[in-house]
Amino acid sequence: MNIVSLAITWLVTSVSFFIISKLPLGVEIDSFGKAMISAAVFGLLNVVVQPIVTGLSLPLIWLTFGLFMVVVNAIIFGLAAWLVDGFRLRHGIWSALLGAMALGFINSFLYKMLGPLLSAR
């Protein structure tokens, strides 16, 4: 992954976090700057913590045919909210679950919309 791809990923995730904060999911982010910090922390946690949590919960992931990965993503989402000042989950794990699912959908939608622009380079 080059620096341009990393920057695009960070920006798309930041926009997704900001959109999620405007939806009635119990996810509160104070500003777009906080959304950018939250996206960076979330990305770092995905690289560092997610492999550990996934490895520890592998039997549950297998038993649920991969559906437990939603809970793993919610744990990472909640951990990012705990670490970033100005990023709050009003309803605890429920907001983390809804926020993590919304993040996946919104990121997919934004990448789908940006696809023609990114491939034209």
Q: Any idea how long the chain is?
A: 121
Residue with tokens 């997610």: 50
Q: Which residues are bridge partners to 28 per DSSP?
A: 88
At 27-85, the pLDDT tens digits run 999 999 999 999 999 999 999 999 999 999 999 999 999 999 999 999 999 999 999 99
What are the boundaries of each domain within the chain?
Answer: 3-119
- Region at 66 (left for phi over 0; alpha for psi -120 to 50; beta for the rest): left
3-state secondary structure of 88: strand
Is residue 103 within a helix (H) or strand (E), and if so which, with residue range? helix 93-119
At 92-112, the pLDDT tens digits run 999 999 999 999 999 999 999
pLDDT band at 120 (very low <50, low <70, confident <90, very high): low
Q: Which residues are bridge partners to 98 per DSSP?
A: none
Q: For 51-64, give the DSSP string.
A: HHHHHHTHHHHHHT
